[in-house]
Structure 1
């Protein structure tokens, strides 16, 4: 046991103890003495750090790995402003957590007077420094320059303080992570909290996100050298497991307390209509599908193994572990007559977005039922024909489909290996040995149990390795909430977020009782059927993959395979940093604004 299980019962303590208000005193001032009067109160203060308000999770629709039916997010559509609620909330919560951490550190002498042991005090200090390192690192990434409070401000100081340079904010973040790593244990015997490994791993992430490759390399290698983390044996099982030695910092769902995270908090949008969901309103993007290389390790526009009429064939196994497979019209089993619907069961039913399939198999009784996961029977089915498989299992069908006890890893060891590899590539110090202990371990795990030999990555030029690394991050970390940060730090957001979100043709059969007779449907729906039968569904042809692993899909719109669902907009002169919240600038004239906001 050596992870940080962000125990949901901690949140429950505060949910059922609403009379306890840790913010009765001004956030910028120290405790008045009404709190920290016992060791229990100190520990309650620490417990309150472990929630998503303070350790934030990016929205699942921010990255280009997800295609959301209803809308694009403010980070994609160019509508963010200094008044945007999410911007103000994150800024406020980071500083709220900072104020609490500083108050706690300032009360350690009081803790000693209460008889708290030095061992406990050391751990408490470590947890407080851990949060300070995290919060200041995130502030530096999103805002650049930030208010830097190291000791706890008075209210008057809070009204007049200016932002400090980003370099100073990052330096203090690193200092706090170092202090945390010195004080925190490697593991715990019971309830899991911040650890030495988590402090080092988050330091690596913050450094990488801010372009400090030397610090990222040192910190990530330090995590590897601890020898206490390892990759989960199976990639698919990692995201449905009850425990894993790969998890470093994670949130675990709890049905009793109704605490759910990531996909498990949005069940209806993530499962099929036949399973009681809304048909994958949060779906894998076509860009993500195209990023997975073939089993020879080559991108689909270079590999002779790629079958453009059956895009699941000969692909990296993580594709079918992340996205629900289905048999295309040109699947070999369909062509040779050996197709077995039980090979494509998902959440109790055969999954097929085939626009000609009006019925599919129900596994429980072998009966053919109406295929409401296809536009053959439902207008709002199969927006892009794809569904996420990652994280999702039968537990999503329980609890009234209101949430599942799935674990969401905010930071895992696989990411640490990717961070170390990237840092060494960018420093131009990568070796074959480093590739074998990082990227090749990740690939090897992806192929475990498949009977296939994984395509080993061998040394190449810095630019060649960068392409491989960025592709590996895209597919290995798909739908884990890191893609937006990667696009920002790589300065690729101006390319990705100035292209549309794509869906299938909007047509449907027009009636659940059309009977499969094409004479009864629109010309546009016949075009959808033709795309399916020609093997151009949902991916048609072979898209060009650029040096960052990103597919160019414009030709698919021109060919009539897909349509633009929504537009994205990104201003490179403005949007790489977030605006300082307007409300804070209204009460503090010394807070300057980021460029062009």
Structure 2
């Protein structure tokens, strides 16, 4: 259910409380009477509201939808709200604008309800109560960060507001909101436990390390390089907020059996049979029982993967052989191997002139724009855990219980490297702590050219670090924020999206090419305040161009 800002005072929880923030199962059914003193009588009831706040922090739909807003994928089937935004065609009535606004304020309502009532639960220990407050304060800060990143100035308040107040509230300057976010995250980082201090039953709960990492990300979005370096350093060169490290296998990092590994700082939680997500049904190969290919990786993304030797890929090189192994772990290309839920490995054929399938599986071949198959000649592999036990229903069902990573230690390393370079402090020591470690984990050749820093030129290093960030975090919903803060959206989103060389013209295969989009630097770096909200509250001003 999508919540409007005007209905902020009507907190509606849907169905059962489907999961706890960690591994603890919910046993209490929330009601809509959370301000009634008779509700706040037990720890379980308080946890029900806190757990709902966790659930409202983010969604799998937005995680995948955010990637559609970037140049990493092309939405070739139908026209989504995200495609309209990415191509500069959205107006203030776009449903994505309204949904994100409403969902965030709905989550903030939940947070305020919890924070203003949890002290009534006298049976809850003071220590646990303060810890739960810190978790919910983190969620509230993350929701305001999402809002101010998309819309700029937004209404900001730290207590529950009345129905009448919600109709006249005004927008708060972005700088003021960000200052509050930084202070809030600093305060909760001092309260929350480290990841090592949680019991296994609490796996997945917000930690002090998550608060520090999110604060670093907030500073990253401001291009505040000194603060980015300071906060990422707390996680790289200190154990005060927990010990983190890269998981040794990049592909298996995104498998259920490894979801609480030492690289995961924050993840969106899912529970088998109880709370699952099925988005990959519209991104995986058709032969893997996908429904259709809603969107697919672009050739621009594929081209950004280096050779294993560390050299840039060129047209003279093989299309996919000897590439950065993260390519194969992220993208399905023609000739890729795919293992089905029964453990049977087969070859994915996407080339239109390739052999036809003889095993009864649906075809993955490129058949042109607007069809169920891929529009670019590529499919998603990331998140596609091959284990049948990772899905509700097993077999060919795509209801996954995999936790979706929201912040990884790899991102911390990349933020640190970028900040150090922008500050003119990149050197072999920083490189070896960050880029070298990422490439070593990925499986690059063990040579100086592949692993060692090759230049001191800040501009060249900037391009290298940005490309490293693109491939390491590909399909994780972060690229859109990078191209926006780098102010290159008006360049990369107005270039013609390309796919593999599967477009036949006069007997010759050329790159698949689609019309370029539009992006106005004077308008599209901020989203429009939803028209429906301004119809209700005339005090809400509008961003330029909407």
User: Normalized against structure 2, the TM-score is what?
Assistant: 0.83
> 1:41 and 2:48 equivalent?
no
Aligned runs of 1:271-290 on 2, under 5 Å?
Answer: 271-278=284-291, 280-290=293-303
Please point out which of 246, 251, 254 is paired with 2:263. 246
Q: Any residues of structure 2 matched to 1:146-157 within 5 Å, and which?
A: 146-157=154-165
> Following TM superposition, by how much is the alpha carbon of 1:361 offset from its aligned partner in structure 2, in angstroms?
6.9
- CA change 1:273–1:154 in 2 (3 A) is closer
Instruction: Work out the CA distance in 1 between the residues paired with 2:417 and 2:227.
Output: 13
The answer on whether the counterparts of 2:151 and 2:529 sit within 8 Å (CA) in structure 1 is yes
Cα distance in 1 for residues equivalent to 2:48 and 2:401: 24
Structure showing greater radius of gyration is: 1
Q: Distance in 2 between matches of 1:433 and 1:184?
A: 31
1:77-156 matched pairs, under 5 angstroms: 77-111=87-121, 114-156=122-164
Question: Aligned match of 1:234 in 246, 249, 258?
Answer: 249
Q: Secondary structure at the residue paired with 1:160?
A: coil
Q: Name 2:423's counterpart in structure 1.
A: 427
Verify the 8 A CA contact 1:67 1:501 in the aligned structure 2.
Answer: yes
8 A contact 1:134–1:206 mirrored in 2 = no
RMSD between superposed Cα atoms in Å: 3.2
- On the 8 A contact 2:119/2:129 being kept in 1, the answer is no
Shift of 1:472: 0.6
Q: Report which stretch shifted further, 39-48 or 78-87.
A: 78-87
Q: Counterparts of 1:279 and 1:82 in 2: how far apart (Å)?
A: 29
Question: Kindly tell me: are residues 127 and 275 of structure 1, through their superposed partners in 2, closer, same or farther at Cα, counting changes over 3 Å?
Answer: closer
CA contact (8 A) 1:247 1:409 kept: yes
Say whether residues 1:392 and 2:384 are aligned partners: yes
Q: Displacement of 1:158 after TM fit?
A: 2.8
Whether the 8 Å CA contact 2:73–2:298 is kept in 1: the answer is: yes
CA separation in 2, counterparts of 1:198 and 1:439? 22
Cα 1:268–1:100, aligned 2, differ >3 Å: closer, same or farther? closer
Task: For residue 219 of structure 1, report the CA deviation from its aligned partner.
Answer: 1.8
Is 1:595 the equivalent of 2:538?
A: no
SS state at 1:593 partner: coil
**Structure 1 residue 217 and structure 2 residue 229: aligned?**
yes
Q: How does 1:42-81 map to 2 (within 5 A)?
A: 42-52=46-56, 54=58, 57=63, 59=65, 60-70=67-77, 71=79, 73-81=83-91
5+ residue gaps in structure 1? 1-6, 26-30, 301-305, 328-342, 363-368, 508-523, 532-560
* Mapping for residues 111-510 of structure 1, pairs under 5 Å: 111=121, 114-187=122-195, 188-189=198-199, 190-192=201-203, 193-224=205-236, 225-226=238-239, 227-243=242-258, 244-260=261-277, 265-278=278-291, 280-300=293-313, 306=314, 308=316, 310-327=318-335, 344=337, 346-347=339-340, 348-360=345-357, 372-374=363-365, 381-395=373-387, 398-447=394-443, 454-503=450-499
Identify which range, 55-64 or 377-386, moves more after superposition: 377-386
Q: Cα gap change, 1:217/1:292 in structure 2, threshold over 3 Å: closer, same or farther?
A: same
Which residue in 2 is equivalent to 1:556?
A: none
Paired residues, number? 504
**Could you give the per-residue CA deviations for residues 537-592 of structure 1, whole angstroms, max 9, x where no partner exists?**
xxxxxxxxxxxxxxxxxxxxxxxx13433542212111101111222222323221
Distance in 2 separating the partners of 1:15 and 1:40:
8
- 8 Å Cα contact 2:308/2:443 also seen in 1: no
Question: Is the Cα–Cα contact under 8 Å of residues 189 and 208 in structure 2 kept in the other structure?
Answer: yes
User: Is 2:501–2:512's contact at 8 Å kept on the other side of the alignment?
Assistant: yes
Separation in 2, partners of 1:117, 1:311? 60
Aligned twin of 1:513: none
Distance in 1, matches of 2:346 and 2:368, equals 15
Deviations 1:280-314 (A, max 9, x none): 443221001111122342323xxxxx453622133
Quote how far apart the aligned CAs of 1:496 are. Answer: 1.6
State whether residues 249 and 441 of structure 2, in contact with CA within 8 Å, keep that contact through their aligned partners in structure 1.
yes
**Conserved in 1, the CA contact under 8 Å of 2:254 and 2:383?**
yes
- Work out the CA distance in 1 between the residues paired with 2:372 and 2:107: 42
User: What is the deviation of 1:483?
Assistant: 0.9
Which residue pairs with 1:552 in the alignment?
none
1:149-176 CA distances to partner (integer Å, 9 max, x unpaired)?
Answer: 1233344333322212111100111111
Q: Report deviation, 1:493.
A: 1.0
Q: Quick check: 1:220–1:419 contact (8 Å CA) kept in 2? A: yes
Alignment partner, residue 510 of structure 1 = none
